């Protein structure tokens, strides 16, 4: 049933909105969607080979009015809850001064970024309370919607849950040449989806883990419960991130209008793809376009989905739930939109015949290839600049996905079949349907270290915290034998 919303067109105040409960989603949309501010660089110097941008970020404790019972104790970066959106262009030299004013050690990982392992912000780059960490790297990858979050081993779920997360948008010339909405906040809006539960005092409940991690009954978008986005353009670009720990979402529109997907984790698709729903498991992103008529409303909803997992598990990822996420409410006059582009950017396909090494990874009962994460063990050694195929296999009935640091990969096959178009672009996180091998192809970067590893892991954060993670180093050709790598267990 379509939602009948009686809203004041004068736009003066959300108290006047009366939204009857929808039959499915049970959300009384009434709060203006918070849109994280763009981080202002403290230094932004232009030069011929790209800008030099320095960002200062401070992780801190805070308090936010999220639900009626609140305020809720939250964590944030430069604010009470979540963090600002960082933005940089291909070729820029980015420097971060990250200060930890939290009561616990944490780290800040740049999810999806190609960068030196020392700048990665994984569990080996911990920042103690009161300390500052200063990574820097040059942006060397296509325009994309990346994100950042803490990565302290064993504590990632809790630190993300309390509110440390934000977007990192990358721009490049190819994307700028397309006629796409790109005015941040106006027609280009990030949507960070996170499910939370609150107790009667408004505290976020951090204890109910079940099998796959914390699952909440309230979906926050950018930290806002029951959110409304006032739409001012015919076409809006939504950069959707699944920032949850365990829940997966199948995002579509309640009125059945299609979702036009233009980008996956690592950048634009070759052409827009029209879908009923976009499925996002934890850590995955999709950029979607939505066209609206003046005065119209649309509800973004997560629909029940088939993840192929055993029955009891479905309830612990929320995949059977139908949840309303966001009310989009169009103004009576809208900025016009050009025709939808037919093509976006050509995709350079990585060729299987160019791959030197094939590695297998079996995910089962919180282990990868039979082992739990060990900070002191290197599991794989990779040669810089080479192309590899990783065959990843969820051999059990539990839901898992797979994320690799420092690379964007392409999906060759899922269960022996070519991937659907929405999975055919650049990805850094992919869902692993049980019992179906997923073959990935990736080219490793030129940032090398025989000491500091990158991670690969399940991005269901509780699984990751439990040890479903391994470590690889990328080394210069000829240095492979300098690394003390753990022999594989018999599988």
For the window 403-422, what string marks contact with ligand C2O as x by the rule CB under 6 A?
x-x-----------------
Question: Please, which of residues 111-140 interact with ligand C2O by CB under 6 A?
Answer: 111
- Residue 125 or 429 having the CB closest to Cu ion: 429
Residue labelled with tokens 């409303």: 297
CA 228, CA 432: separation in Å to the nearest integer? 33
Does 400 engage in binding with Cu ion (CB under 5 A)? yes
Q: How far is the CB of 84 from ligand C2O (least distance, A)?
A: 18
Beta bridge partners of 250: 279
Does 204 engage in binding with Cu ion (CB under 5 A)? no
Cα distance from N-terminal residue to C-terminal residue, the chain: 51
CA 307, CA 422: separation in Å to the nearest integer? 16
Q: How far is the CB of 379 from ligand C2O (least distance, A)?
A: 14
- Residue 58 or 211 having the CB closest to Cu ion: 211
Q: How far is the CB of 457 from ligand C2O (least distance, A)?
A: 6
- Residue 292 or 458 having the CB closest to Cu ion: 458
Q: Are 136 and 95 in contact (CB under 8 A)?
A: yes
Q: How far is the CB of 458 from Cu ion (least distance, A)?
A: 3
Does 389 engage in binding with ligand C2O (CB under 6 A)? no
Beta bridge partners of 234: none
- Residue 107 or 401 having the CB closest to Cu ion: 401
Question: Please, which of residues 444-473 interact with ligand C2O by CB under 6 A?
Answer: 455, 457, 459
Q: Which of 109, 162, 237, 301 binds ligand C2O (CB under 6 A)?
A: 109
Computed on alpha carbons and rounded to an integer, the radius of gyration of the chain in Å comes to 22
- Residue 41 or 163 having the CB closest to ligand C2O: 163
Query: Does the CA dihedral 461-464-468-470 come out positive or negative?
Result: positive
Does 463 engage in binding with Cu ion (CB under 5 A)? yes
Residue 91: half-sphere exposure toward Cβ, Cα within 13 Å: 10
> Which of 280, 277, 278, 163 lies closest to 224, judged by CA?
163
Dihedral Cα 20, 23, 25, 31, nearest 10 deg: 0
Tell me the two tokens of residue 482: 């300098």
Residue labelled with tokens 């019992």: 435
Element (H, E) at 162: helix 156-162
Element (H, E) at 176: helix 173-176
- Residue 231 or 309 having the CB closest to Cu ion: 309
Question: Among ligand C2O, Cu ion, none, what does residue 455 contact (CB within 5–8 Å per kind)?
Answer: ligand C2O
Question: Among ligand C2O, Cu ion, none, what does residue 463 contact (CB within 5–8 Å per kind)?
Answer: Cu ion
Q: Which of 90, 149, 161, 162 binds ligand C2O (CB under 6 A)?
A: 149
Contacts of 154 (CB under 8 A, 6+ apart): 465
For the window 279-308, what string marks contact with ligand C2O as x by the rule CB under 6 A?
----x-------------------------
- Residue 89 or 366 having the CB closest to Cu ion: 366
Does 151 engage in binding with ligand C2O (CB under 6 A)? yes
Alpha helices in 323-478 (DSSP H): 461-466
Contact residues toward Cu ion (CB under 5 A) are 400, 458, 460, 463
Contact residues toward ligand C2O (CB under 6 A) are 109, 111, 149, 151, 283, 403, 405, 455, 457, 459
């Amino acid at each position: 049933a379509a939602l009948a919303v009686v809203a004041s067109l004068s736009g003066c105040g959300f108290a006047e909105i009366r939204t009857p409960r929808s039959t499915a989603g049970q959300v009384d949309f009434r709060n203006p969607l918070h849109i994280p501010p763009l981080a202002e660089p403290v230094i932004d110097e232009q030069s011929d080979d790209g800008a030099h941008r320095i960002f200062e970020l401070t992780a801190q404790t805070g308090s936010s009015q999220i639900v009626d019972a609140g305020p809720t104790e939250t964590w944030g970066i430069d604010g009470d809850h979540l963090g600002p959106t960082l933005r940089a262009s291909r070729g820029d030299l980015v420097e971060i001064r990250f200060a930890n004013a939290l009561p616990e050690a944490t780290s800040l990982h740049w999810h999806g970024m190609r960068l030196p392992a020392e700048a990665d912000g994984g569990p080996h780059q911990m920042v103690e309370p009161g300390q500052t960490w200063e990574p820097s790297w040059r942006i060397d990858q296509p325009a994309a919607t990346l994100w950042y979050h803490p990565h302290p081993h064993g504590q990632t779920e809790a630190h993300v849950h309390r509110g440390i997360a934000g977007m990192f948008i990358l721009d490049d010339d190819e994307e700028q040449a397309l006629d796409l909405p790109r005015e941040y906040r106006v027609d280009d809006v990030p949507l960070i989806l996170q499910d939370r539960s609150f107790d009667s005092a408004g505290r976020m409940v951090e204890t109910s883990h079940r099998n796959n991690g914390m699952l909440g009954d309230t979906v926050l978008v950018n930290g806002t419960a029951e959110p409304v986005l006032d739409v001012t353009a015919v076409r809006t670009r939504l950069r959707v991130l699944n920032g949850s720990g365990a829940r997966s979402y199948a995002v579509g529109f309640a009125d059945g209008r299609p979702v036009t997907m233009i980008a996956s984790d690592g950048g634009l698709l070759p052409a827009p793809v029209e879908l009923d729903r976009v499925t996002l498991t934890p850590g995955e992103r999709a950029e979607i376009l939505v066209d609206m008529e003046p005065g119209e409303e649309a509800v973004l909803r997560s629909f029940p989905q088939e993840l192929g997992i055993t029955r009891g598990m479905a309830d612990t990822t929320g995949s059977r739930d139908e949840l309303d996420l966001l009310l989009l409410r169009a103004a009576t006059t809208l900025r016009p939109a050009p025709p939808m582009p037919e093509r976006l950017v050509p995709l350079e396909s990585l060729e299987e015949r160019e791959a030197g090494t094939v590695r297998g990874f079996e995910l089962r009962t919180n282990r990868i290839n039979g082992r739990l994460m060990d900070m002191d063990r290197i599991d794989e050694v990779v040669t810089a600049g080479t192309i590899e195929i990783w065959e990843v296999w969820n051999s059990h009935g539990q839901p898992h996905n797979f994320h690799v640091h420092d690379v964007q990969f392409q999906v060759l096959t899922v269960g022996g079949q070519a991937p659907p178009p929405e999975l055919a672009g650049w990805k850094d996180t992919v869902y692993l349907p049980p019992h179906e091998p997923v073959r990935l192809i990736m080219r490793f970067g030129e940032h090398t270290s025989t000491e500091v590893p990158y991670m690969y892991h399940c991005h269901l954060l509780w699984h990751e915290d439990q040890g479903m993670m391994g470590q690889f180093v990328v080394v210069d050709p000829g240095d492979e034998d300098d690394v003390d790598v753990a022999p594989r267990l018999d599988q």
